Amino acid sequence: MAEISMERPRLGIFEGRNGRSWLLIFGCLLYFAFCWIMYTFTVEPLYGAVNTYTIEADSGAYFSRAGFDDPVSGGRSPEGIDRGGLVSFGGSTLGPTVLSLIGRTLFGVACLNCLLFLITVRWAGSIPGVRREIFVLLMAIEPQTLPTLMTLNKEIFAIAGLVSFAAYVFRRRASISGKGPKLLLFASLILSVFARWEQLIIPIWYLVSESRWSPVRRRPRRAIVMLLLFCSVAWATAVHLLHLNFGGFIQQATGGSGTVSKLYSIQDKGGYFLVALPKILMNIAGRWVTPMYFFTGYWTEDFGNSLQNHYIGILSSLVMLIVLGWTIVRGRFRLTRPLVYLALCYFIFTAINPFVQHRYIFPGYCLLALELSRRKESLEAVKALKKLPGLPPSYRALQQSRDEAVVRMLS
């Protein structure tokens, strides 16, 4: 008589998944569906419809840089285009150029962006305590994630580079030998170069400041002070030696006056450490720094039917302010935690740009989202601000004698 097998049938990829895994899968699919719906209205409309509203920023310029016809505006790329200088002091177009060469079309680029985002979520899950479903939710409520996934841009490389380096940092801290997987470090360095050259300084700075020879090792406050002084001296030296002058650009962007031009003049003379905090706040808050703008200039300004300028940027600044405030209220904004320390370093390096651009600090939001998505029991221990006074020795001796007396009576 044949024996009846009681073994459960194998379900392949569906085997062993809990409720949170299914929630993550469903959330990703739902958000991707929303992104692709917006893609058909704002990036590449179906059936030859007119592209009335746009969400991209500089995507057409990146395609032209790679030598393709500009699919955004429908124009042809200029002949004899210069493909040199993909990474320069003024900026970097290496990542978007490589992505356009691989994807070839708007649809191909969007698919590659989504694939890289899924890899980023996988890296985020390797950080201790990170709940990937919470991380995906926090990324989904940030409006800037939509153009990051659906258009040709640098931000997808920036967030992937920072998350891969964060995963490397935690694997390194958990290692007995103090070394992390070199593949994650290599990926973070390559992706940082693909995003912006400034971002490459962040992992290098962390590795140097946390090396065994560093005087600021495990002293994040001193490391931040040294970083501010380094940026101040480096910027003033570069301006003096390279004869950089952003004054005309700033006057054109600010109308010849304003806080930005004044802050830049101080930074130009080596005072970046004095203006770093207000410049970071201006990058984070965007238009919300001047609330009266929404009652006056917002309704009369010509945005050229651009969703990026009219809605996405403004709502992104609001979400950034809320998440940053929530991080502070929950007591998570502490420099002793690597994700917060990396986020602050990123804000400092980004704010050194002579102009205010909220889109550049979006990867810093990704690090704060990682911090908020971590379970409370997995957080690093934080030292108390003040040491609580202990009991006097005489009181402890009296209490000990009383306990001994009670033990003798019971025995």
pLDDT of 381-409, one tens digit each?
Answer: 655 444 444 555 555 566 667 667 766 67
Please state, in angstroms and as integers, the Cα–Cα distance from residue 179 to each residue in 125, 165, 207, 246, following that order: 19, 13, 11, 42
Q: What's the pLDDT band for 178 if we cut at 50, 70, 90?
A: low
Tokens of 139: 């990324």
pLDDT score for 214: 87
Count of residues in the chain: 411
Give the residue with greater pLDDT, 51 vs 409.
409
What distance in Å separates the CA atoms of residue 281 and residue 351, rounded to the nearest whole number?
9
Tens digit of each residue's pLDDT (9 = 90 or more) over 253-305: 444 447 777 888 888 888 899 988 999 998 898 888 777 777 777 766 665 55
Instruction: State the pLDDT confidence band at 329, using cuts at 50, 70 and 90.
Output: very high
Categorize the per-residue pLDDT at 244 as very low, low, confident or very high, splitting at 50, 70 and 90.
low
Number of C-alpha atoms within 13 angstroms, CB side, residue 379?
20
| Residue 54 CB partners (closer than 8 Å, separation 6+) | 42, 43, 72, 305, 306, 307, 308
pLDDT of residue 110: 93
pLDDT of residue 113: 95
Chain mean pLDDT for the chain: 79
Q: Provide the pLDDT confidence category of residue 324 given band limits of 50, 70 and 90.
A: very high
Above 70 in pLDDT, residue 250?
no
Residues 349, 363: Cα–Cα separation, whole Å? 12
Which residue's structure tokens are 């997995």? 378
Q: Which residues contact 195 (CB under 8 A, 6 or more apart)?
A: 92, 95, 154, 155, 157, 158, 161, 363
| pLDDT at position 383 | 52
Angle separating helix axes 338-351 and 155-174, nearest 10 degrees: 140
User: Residue 74: what pLDDT?
Assistant: 57
> How much is the CA Rg of the chain, to the nearest whole Å?
26
Cβ atoms of 229 and 273 within 8 Å: the answer is: yes
Please give the angle made by the CA atoms of 12, 17 and 18, to the nearest 5 degrees: 165
Instruction: Using the predicted structure, report yes or no on whether residue 3 has a pLDDT greater than 60.
Output: no
The 10s digit of each residue's pLDDT in 363-374 is 999 999 999 999
Q: What per-residue confidence (pLDDT) applies to 293?
A: 74
238: closest CA among 402, 353, 116?
353
Tell which wins on pLDDT, 194 or 404: 194
pLDDT at 332 over 80: yes
Residue 345: per-residue pLDDT: 93
Q: Terminus-to-terminus CA distance in the chain, angstroms?
A: 69
Query: Residue 269 has what DSSP assignment?
Result: T
* Cα separation, 365 vs 352, whole angstroms: 18
Digit-coded pLDDT (tens) for 56-111: 777 878 888 777 766 666 554 444 344 445 544 455 778 888 899 898 888 999 99
- Compute, in degrees rounded to 10, the torsion defined by CA atoms 93, 98, 103, 105: 40
Q: How confident is the model at residue 44 (pLDDT cuts 50, 70, 90)?
A: confident
Number of H helices, E strands in the chain: 18, 2
pLDDT in tens, 211-240: 888 888 888 899 999 999 999 998 888 877
What is the rounded average pLDDT of the residues 15-19? 60
Position 224 scores a pLDDT of 93
Token pair, residue 391, equals 């009991």
Residue 9's pLDDT is 46
Q: What is the pLDDT of residue 388?
A: 43
Instruction: For residue range 146-176, list pLDDT tens digits in order.
Output: 999 999 989 999 999 999 999 999 988 877 5
Q: What is the DSSP string of 217-228?
A: TT-HHHHHHHHH
Three-state SS at 4: coil
Q: Where are the beta strands (DSSP E) in 101-241?
A: none
Higher pLDDT, 290 or 127: 127
CB 143 within 8 A of CB 38: no
Residues 309, 359: Cα–Cα separation, whole Å: 10
* The predicted structure's pLDDT at residue 359: 81
Q: Nearest 5 degrees, angle CA 314-CA 317-CA 322?
A: 130
